[in-house]
Structure 1
C-alpha cells in the first residue's frame, strides 16, 4: 500500500504545524505535493462555523485571564495580532521580561526539525514556560474516574483533582508535544514534561504529562515529514474527514473508479480489510471467510452485505423478515435544535392520536430566539417538558398507551439531561431524576436504533438518508444540521445583532419537516418496508 524511502540527510524538511500531524495522510501529501493544482480550498460552512466559535472562545478566555491579573502589571501579556515575525519578537520579548502568562504566543520556527507553530498561552514555570492550549471542546468531565491533575486559571499549580475525569484528545496531546519541542528549540522549555489545556468550560487548566507522548510525537513527525516530502507514498481512502475536504473532488472519483473498499466500510475496517487482501468492493462482496484479525466495529457479514448492496445499487437492505418499531395510541415525535455547545434553543413536537381521527396531527415548537447562551432557554425547555408530561398523563388517565420518538437519542438525551442540570430550580424545569426516568422508560423510543436493528444501510443511517426511502422529502433543498447552524446565526443576529425573522421561519419549517420525517419513517417501517426493501438473503 505504501512505499517508504529514507529522506536524504541534506534535504530541507517541509515546515509542519501541529494541524499536519493528525487527520488524513493523503490530504497532507496533496497539500504539499500538488500546490499548483486548482481546487476549491474555501472552508466548508461547518468548518468556518467551528473556526469562528473557536476564535470567540479564545477571546473569552483571554478576557478572563486578563481580568484575573488586572492588578499585576506585566504578569499577563497578550501578543497583538500581526505578521508572524512581529508576533515571534513580541513573544520572546515578553518571555525575556519574565511575564507569567503570554497569550497568543508565536514561537520561532525550527527549520532544522521542520516545524512551526504557536500556543494560545505560555505559562511561566521557574525559568521556562509550559504550553497551554485553548480548545473549543471539553477536556474534562465531572466525576473522579482515573487520575487527573488540574491547575487553577490564576496560577500554574498542578494538583490531583478527584472531582474530574480526563477527556483525552489525541490532537491536543500531539499539539502540546509539538509546542514543547518548539519551546526547547527557543530555549524556553522547562524540565517538567507538562502541558495544559483549557477546554470549553474554561474553569481550570487540565494538566497533561507529555513525557510518555514525546517518542510517539517524534515518530509521527518523521512519518508526516516523509509524506510531505514525497518519500512516503499515500493513496486515498474514504474517512469522515472527506466530507469537508477540498480534495474530495479528486479523491472521490479515484475511489469510485478503483471500486475501493473504503466506499462501503469505515476507515479502520478498510485498513484491516486491505491488510487481509480485500482491496475492492468486489473483493469484500465475494468474501466468505471469517473476520480478519483486528476487525472491529460490527459483523463482517454486514460489511459483505454492504458491498453487495453497493455493487447492485441497493440503498437499503432488510435484516429481518418483518421490520418492527414500538407503536402506541398517542405518539409524539420530537426533534431538538441546538447551536454548538451553547444550548438547545428549539424542541419541536408532532402529536398523533391514533385513537381519535378527529384530533389533528399538529406540529408544536417550543423555542427561544434570545441568542444562546440564555436563561430563556430554560423557560422554553420547561414549557416543552410540561406539555410532554401533560400528554403522557392524559394518555394514562384515559387508558391509552403513549410513546415519544426521536431520531438518534444521544443528542436529545444530552440536552434533556443538560437542561435539567443547568436550569435546575427554574419554574417548570424537571429534576434530573425525572428526566433520567423518562429516558430509561419504554415511552422514549429511538427510531435510529430501530433502523439499525431492522436494516443494513449502505448509504448511512442518517435521517436525511433513510427517510427518502420511505417517501419523505424536505421542503428546503439545503436542509441539514450544519446548514441550520448558519440559519440560526442569522436568525438571532450573531454577526451584526440584527435578527432575521425569515431565517427563524426557515428553521421552524426545517424542524417541522424533521419530526414529520421521523413519523413517516417509523410508520413505514411497520406498514410498508417488508414489501418494498430487499432482504439480505436475496443479495
Structure 2
C-alpha cells in the first residue's frame, strides 16, 4: 500500500530508513510530527558522534582494501545528494556491476522504504547486501557461516569450526530492510536468504540467513523486520497526518542519548509518569496493572499479591524509589545501617579511555597508613594519540607502581584495598591491556590481572551504593558524590565532554596538541578519584544517618 498522506493540501510520502525498526516508537512519532519541526532538541551525544566517526573510518578502511583487491569489478557510488546517489546506484545495478559500494537504493514509495547499504554483491540471481560495522560479529566457537574478506563474493560462505555468530539483531534488521528495497526494485536474489556483515576485525564476512527461524518464537529475521516496519510506518503515518498518536513517551535506557529527550522528559514530569522511576518492561507491567504515575506507585502495598512482580528490581524498591522521587530525595537508605569495607592503606583508581581505541590515563589517589610511598594523586598517562604503543608503557608503569604499593603494605603488616566506581570499565581495560601488550616489559599476564580483580583488594564502590541506597536520579558518581559534599572543579566535568577534551589534548583532528586540555583532563581525573574517597569516608561516617531511611518516608 502506498504510504501517502494529505497535510495542509500537500501530498507527502512517508519514507522510513532501516533505523526505525530498532528505534523508540515515540522518537519515530516525533520525527514525523510536523508540529515538532521547530522544537529545540538536545545537543548531539559526543560519545555517539565519536562512534559514528570511528565507524565511518572503519568502513573506509574496509572499502579501500576491497577496492584494491577487486580492481575493475569494484564500483563506488560517489558522494552527493540522495537523488544523485540513487541514480548512480540504479545505473550500476542495471549494468550488473559485480560489487557496488555505498549504494543508495531506489525508494520504495509503495511501502514507505528508503535506505542505503555499504556493499551490494552480485550473484547469478541478483544482489545480496553486506553491512560493514565497527563491533564484533562473531565469538570463539563454531557453527557460523563465514568467508574471508576477499571471499565476499562467495555468498553464504562455509561452516566455520572456530567461530560462532554473535547475535546482533540490529544488523540483521538493517540487512532485511535492504533486501526489501532490492526486492521492490527487482534486484534481490530470491534464491538465498543470506546477507553478510563485516565486523570489527575487518577480515571476515559473517553470513546471516534471514529466512532461518533464529529469532524468538522460531520467527525469521525477515518476519521480525516486516512486523516492526509495519508498526513504525503506522506510527509515522499517524504523526504525519495529525492522527491519534500511536506511541506515548516512556523512559528507557536510550533516552539519555536521544535528541528528543528534553521533549519527552518535560511531558513525563508533567504527567508524573511511572517510567521516571522504573523503566522499560517494568513500566509496561505497572501500566498494565493500572499503575501509571509515580504517585500511584508510591501508594501501593508491596506485599499485596495482586501487584505484578517486576523484572528489573523488587517491587518494594520500586515503591521506595517512587516515594524518594516525590520527596525530591536523591538518596534514601535501603537499610538503617550503612557500611563499606575499609583498609589501612587505601587507593582510589580511575581510568580514562577514548572509545575503543585504548586507555590513555590511569589516575590514582593513595591515602591511609604510611607505606614509604608518597601519598596523594598520581597519574600514569600517555599523550601519544591513541592507538599507540606508548599506552603499553603507561599501563606497565601503573601496574608496577600498584604492585609496589601492595607489597609495601604487606611488608608492614597493613591491610590494602583499591577502590573504583563501577568496575566494568576498569576491568575491561585491565584485562584488555594485559592481552594487547602481552610479553612487553612490565605488562602483567591476564591471570595476574584476573587474580587481582577477583581478590578482596579490589572493591567496586558502585556496588555498595547500589546495595545501601535507592537512588531516584541515578547511581552515577556525578550524581551521588555531591550528596556526600564533593564538587568537581570543572563545571563541565563528565565522560562525554572528556572525549572532546582528549581530541584537543593530543591534536587528534590535525591541530597542535592543546596543553591546557591536558591539564583539564588530569584535574578531572584527580577529582574523580577524590570523589570516590570522599564518598567512601562519608558512607563510613555518622553523617550518612542524615539520609532518610526508606521505611520512614
TM-score range, shorter chain: over 0.9
The 1:505/1:292 distance shift into structure 2, 3 A limit, reads same
The aligned runs of 1:375-390 (5 Å cut-off) are: 375-390=389-404
Task: Give the match for residue 483 of structure 1.
Answer: 497
1:114 Cα shift?
0.5
Q: CA deviation at 1:396?
A: 1.1
After TM superposition, the structure 1 stretch with the greater mean CA deviation from structure 2, 35-44 or 238-247, is: 35-44
Name the stretch that deviates more: 8-17 or 255-264.
Answer: 8-17
Alignment partner, residue 181 of structure 2: 182
Preserved contact between residue 3 and residue 111 of structure 2 (Cα < 8 Å): no
Aligned to 1:88: 86
Contact 1:135 1:200 in 2 (8 A): yes
Map 1:121-200 → 2, pairs under 5 A: 121-141=119-139, 143-144=140-141, 147-156=143-152, 157=154, 158-190=157-189, 191-200=191-200
Displacement of 1:331 in angstroms is 1.0
Q: 1:358 to 1:375 in 2, by over 3 A?
A: closer
User: Is the 1:321–1:530 contact (alpha carbons within 8 Å) kept by the matching residues of 2?
Assistant: no
The equivalent of 1:3 in structure 2 is none
Alignment match, 1:270: 283
Displacement of 1:126 in angstroms is 2.7
Tell me which moved more, 11-20 or 517-526. Answer: 11-20
Paired residues of 2:371 and 2:408 also in contact (CA < 8 A): no
- Pick which of 215-224 and 285-294 moved more: 285-294
Q: Give the match's secondary structure for 2:105.
A: strand
Query: What aligned pairs does 1:352-367 form with structure 2 within 5 A after superposition?
Result: 352=367, 354-356=368-370, 361-367=375-381
Change (3 A) 1:185 1:297: same
Give the TM-score normalised by structure 1: 0.93
Give structure 1 regions of 4+ aligned residues with deviation exceeding 4 angstroms.
6-13, 291-294, 357-360
Aligned counterpart, 1:51: 52
Of residues 328, 333, 341, the one that matches 1:326 is 341
**SS in structure 2 opposite 1:182?**
helix
1:413-432 equivalent positions in 2, closer than 5 A: 413-432=427-446
The Cα shift of 1:358 comes to: 9.4
For 2:315 and 2:80, the matched residues in 1 are separated by 53
1:220 equivalent to 2:214? Answer: no
For 1:340 and 1:134, how far apart are their aligned partners in 2? 18
Structure 2 counterpart SS, 1:189: coil
Check conservation: 1:22, 1:171, Cα contact below 8 A: yes
1:337 paired with 2:352, answer yes
Q: Report the Cα offset of residue 387 of structure 1.
A: 0.6
Which residue does 2:518 correspond to in 1? 504
> Quick one: distance in 1 between partners of 2:503 and 2:159?
40
1:12–1:122 distance in 2 versus 1, CA, 3 Å:
same
- SS of the residue 2:362 aligns to: strand
Do structure 1's residue 32 and structure 2's residue 32 form an aligned pair?
yes
Q: Secondary structure at the match of 1:346?
A: strand
Matching of residues 233-244 of structure 1 within 5 Å: 233-244=246-257
Aligned to 1:301: 316
- Is the contact made by 1:7 and 1:226 (CA closer than 8 Å) also made in structure 2? no
Report Cα offsets for 1:166-223 as digits up to 9, x if no partner.
3323222211110010111122212211112222222312221211111111111111
Aligned residue in 1 for 2:274: 261
| Residues 507 and 290 (structure 1), Cα distance of their counterparts in 2 relative to 1, 3 Å cut | farther
Other structure's SS at 1:265 match = coil
Conserved in 2, the CA contact under 8 Å of 1:88 and 1:105? yes
- Cα 1:124–1:260 shift into 2, 3 Å: same
Report how far residue 51 of structure 1 moved.
2.3
What's 1:533 paired with?
547
Q: Structure 1: any 5+ residue segments left out of the alignment?
A: 1-5
TM-aligned CA deviation for residue 368 of structure 1: 0.8
Cα deviation, 1:237-263, whole Å, max 9, x if unaligned, reads 122232233333322222111111011
Residue in structure 2 matched with residue 202 of structure 1 by the alignment? 202
Which whole-Å CA distance do the structure 2 matches of 1:490 and 1:205 have between them?
35
Q: Could you tell me how far apart the structure 1 residues matched to 2:127 and 2:439 are?
A: 43
C-alpha spacing 1:147/1:293, structure 2 compared with 1 (3 Å):
farther
Q: CA deviation at 1:447?
A: 0.5
> Counterparts of 1:129 and 1:115 in 2: how far apart (Å)?
18
Distance (Å, rounded) in 2 between the aligned partners of 1:107 and 1:35: 29
Q: How many residues align?
A: 528
1:93-104 to 2 correspondences below 5 Å: 93-104=91-102
5 Å matches for 1:2-13? none
1:29/1:228 contact within 8 Å kept: yes
Counterpart Cα distance in 2 of 1:264 and 1:174: 31
d(CA) in 1 for partners of 2:377 and 2:287? 48
**Aligned-partner SS, 2:106:** strand
- Which residue number in structure 1 is paired with residue 216 of structure 2? none
Instruction: Give the whole-Å Cα distance in 1 for the aligned partners of 2:409 and 2:464.
Output: 24
1:249 aligns with 2:249: no
Indicate the SS of the match to 2:397.
Answer: helix
Question: Partner of 2:116 in structure 1?
Answer: 118
* CA distance in structure 2 between the aligned counterparts of 1:303 and 1:502, rounded to whole angstroms: 44
Matched, 1:473 2:512: no
Moved more, 75-84 or 239-248: 239-248
Listed as ranges, the gaps of 5+ residues in structure 2 are 212-219
CA RMSD of aligned residues (A): 2.2
